[in-house]
Structure 1
Amino acid sequence: MGLVIRLVEERDKTEVLSLLNSVFSENQRTASLRDEAYWKWKFLDGPYGPSMLIVAEQDGRIVGVNNWWSWEFIVRGQVVKALQPSDSAVHPDYRGQGCFKQLRIYGLKAVQGTGVRLLFNYPNENSLHAYLSLGWHFQKPIPWRVRVLRPLSLVKGLFSAAKSEALVIDPTYKIDVRVLNEMAQKTDGYDHFLKINRVPGFHQWRYLNHPHRSYGMITYTRGHKKTAAVFTINKKGHSLEMVVVDMLGSVENTLPLFRRIMDAGRQMNVGFIAVMDNIFFNTPALWRLGFVKRCYKNMVVLPLDLTLESHVKGYGNWSLMAGMHDSI
């Protein structure tokens, strides 16, 4: 019997999780595994609706998986429904046989007429060609801003063979969802940036309900202008890595906010701080605080609504956050 591409069924859960873990254990940085809690959080409970999970079946065996993660963005007050094809895995015995492409084509056909206007993702070098062969637009390697606080710790982390583990954040930095929701209202606007559509429940789901990762919050207020940053910390060997995954509120506070983040990083003995470059929050200006630019991973987009094409292909039109990636 040939390869069958279909939507996932409840009976497939154990086999799908097993395939994802066996494939991603080869090259993922983190030690966390995909389990039932991850299944519920990622595939079912998202604030924009459940994922579209597609499987490839051969002789009754799941040999390929592709999840289309539901997202929404907002630009000039207009909501843009989007999907991020993630959790893509093909069993080693079936690679090079067109399984990945068939999963993608099935997904592309399935989203027609659903109101989805945009597809985006962050492929590594191994999968980038597969996206480009299907007509996706390559934005650029994603720039990050990195500030080294403890050089020796950084070097130890780079040479450590250990998988990174998410640390539990000190209660001092406990996330206040109410504050994040207030900041979200001040971040929204009618400018040209594509931003996360922070619907009710988004911050609770993304940062408090994540099954395998802990997050903290740091704020800075000047007059009536307040800015918040959400961060997480990884432990890799004996090195600690602080990643700023989200920013909300006034864009005028970026530099003083990051001074406060650096102070917190020093107190927690992190080796370095990293944040995805964000033009809206003017993170390129962080060079003034000693941050340097480093590119990591790629970004690709496929606008299904052609009226969005020129806009979403401009990298500078995005307000990108690392929180748009499930593993951080």
Structure 2
Amino acid sequence: MALESPGPTQDDYHVRTYEPSDREGYLDLYEAVFGRRRSDYWVHWRYGGPYTDRVRMVVAERDGEVVGAEPFISLPVRAGDAEVLGLQPADVMVHPDHRRNGLMTRMTQFAVEQYADLEGLFFNFPNEVARAVHLRLGWREIGRTATAYRITSPSAFVDELDLPPSTDRVTRVCYDAYDSLVGGATSTLRRSSPEVRRFEEVPASVLETLYDRRRPDLVHVPRTAVFYRWRLANPEWDVTTYVAESEGHPVAALITCTESKDGLTYTKLLDSVPMVDADPFALERLVFTALSEHRSADVIAVAEDTLPRSVRATTGFLRNDGLPLSLVTSSNSVLARPFSLGRGSWSVGERRFEERRNWELSLLDQDTSV
């Protein structure tokens, strides 16, 4: 049975929890707002998963039609030995015909009241509209998270630039030469270069073992086999895992996903383990291996926390919070608040989660759809 706001308002909007019978209405709304049709499986994968017994979502309806939705991704959040529930608002939307009626605020307020008795926190990476709503309702902006890009097709990445077709060809040739020079130089630094194995199926147990070797003390989403099997099951991702081995034992791993959208090919370096103190040479080998297999990608992206600065520099990535990429893109706001402002804590264990420096965040932790 769905929980509802106390009766209809004067404008006849009802705000309540999502029910399975809302499925078609939600899919129609998503298509109307974002311009693409999602599947039933995608909805249950994204908003269900192993950390909840139901799809977590608040909807707004009017005259039996779903006109607004605020779904949540359920994730555990850990720091040290402490672990709590984390909910990440994602894909918050209101039908264009029903905007400017305060529905986003009403849905968020309903969700806050619904989870106020639980121990845990909200954290998310909102757009400007959702950011303003969440800040009014007790969220704090804890900082920003940058993405580093390697752009092999500048004309595709920045549509408004009138670049000649030769730009992309020149860029790819330059990257190939750069990789050959730098990759060859780094491979001579050590005689015992780690071997890289490629996996089409997610080696979840291997990834969990690498995570367990050096768990972060910072606030993060724990990398268990259960987490990896669920999070990497996006039906629209082509996922590949690269594992570096030394003397037959895994020492580091890199996870990539590729998806085509609007005629472009995007590859994301979703995650790496160990999350802290990984061997930078092993990471370089993993990144260069992944790059060599994704030469046709127009854009390759990685979150700032996933790779050390030295590895990003060596492998040709530029952050979007600095020139030149800051002219055409920007870093993302990171917001958070405890479920209850009155009784809740702003800490997980001994770490204050209102400070960005206390977080480890990869693209796998963010509400990325691509």
TM bucket, shorter chain: 0.7 to 0.9
Give the superposition deviation at 1:286. Answer: 2.4
The aligned counterpart of 1:118 is 121
1:303 aligns to 2:335 (yes or no): no
1:327 aligns to 2:369 (yes or no): yes
State the number of aligned residues. 305
Alpha-carbon distance change, 238 to 84 in structure 1, aligned in 2, over 3 angstroms: closer
Of 87, 101, 109, the residue aligned with 1:105 is: 109
Give the superposition deviation at 1:80. Answer: 2.0
5+ long unaligned stretches in structure 1: 26-31, 161-170
Give the superposition deviation at 1:237. Answer: 6.0
Task: Confirm or deny: 8 A CA contact 2:18 2:57 kept in the other structure.
Answer: yes
Alpha-carbon distance change, 67 to 90 in structure 1, aligned in 2, over 3 angstroms: same
Rounded to whole Å, the distance in 2 between the matches of 1:64 and 1:91 is 6
Rounded to whole Å, the distance in 2 between the matches of 1:122 and 1:215 is 23
Give the superposition deviation at 1:133. Answer: 1.9
The runs of at least 4 consecutive aligned structure 1 residues that moved more than 6 Å come to none
1:205 aligns to 2:247 (yes or no): no
The aligned counterpart of 1:166 is none
Q: Encode CA deviations 1:190-219: one digit per residue, 9 max, x unaligned.
A: x2x112123452111111x22221211112
Rounded to whole Å, the distance in 2 between the matches of 1:177 and 1:137 is 34
The aligned counterpart of 1:215 is 239
**Who wins on radius of gyration, i.e. which is larger?**
2
Matched-pair identity in %: 21
Rounded to whole Å, the distance in 1 between the matches of 2:316 and 2:294 is 19
Task: Confirm or deny: 8 A CA contact 1:156 1:237 kept in the other structure.
Answer: no
Task: Confirm or deny: 8 A CA contact 1:220 1:253 kept in the other structure.
Answer: no
The aligned counterpart of 2:290 is 264
The aligned counterpart of 1:178 is 205
The aligned counterpart of 1:234 is 259
Give the superposition deviation at 1:225. Answer: 6.7
The aligned counterpart of 1:168 is none
Give the superposition deviation at 1:108. Answer: 0.1
Task: Confirm or deny: 8 A CA contact 1:232 1:244 kept in the other structure.
Answer: yes
5+ long unaligned stretches in structure 2: 1-7, 161-196, 321-329
Task: Confirm or deny: 8 A CA contact 2:75 2:86 kept in the other structure.
Answer: yes
What amino acid is the match of 2:141?
A: F
SS of the counterpart of 1:252? coil
Of 2, 23, 39, the residue aligned with 2:33 is: 23
What amino acid is the match of 1:327?
A: S
What amino acid is the match of 1:14?
A: E
The aligned counterpart of 2:167 is none
RMSD: 2.7
1:64 aligns to 2:90 (yes or no): no
Give the superposition deviation at 1:244. Answer: 0.8
The aligned counterpart of 2:353 is 312
> 315-324 or 128-137, which moves further after superposition?
128-137
The aligned counterpart of 1:155 is 155
The aligned counterpart of 2:270 is 245
Q: Encode CA deviations 1:148-191: one digit per residue, 9 max, x unaligned.
A: 4x3xx23234329xxxxxxxxxx9542322211222222425x2
The aligned counterpart of 1:196 is 221
Alpha-carbon distance change, 181 to 158 in structure 1, aligned in 2, over 3 angstroms: same
SS of the counterpart of 1:195? coil
Q: Encode CA deviations 1:295-320: one digit per residue, 9 max, x unaligned.
A: 43321111332241871121121110
TM superposition score normalised by structure 2: 0.74
SS of the counterpart of 1:179? helix
Give the superposition deviation at 1:36. Answer: 0.8
TM superposition score normalised by structure 1: 0.83
Alpha-carbon distance change, 55 to 240 in structure 1, aligned in 2, over 3 angstroms: closer
1:282 aligns to 2:282 (yes or no): no
SS of the counterpart of 1:196? coil
Task: Confirm or deny: 8 A CA contact 2:251 2:282 kept in the other structure.
Answer: no
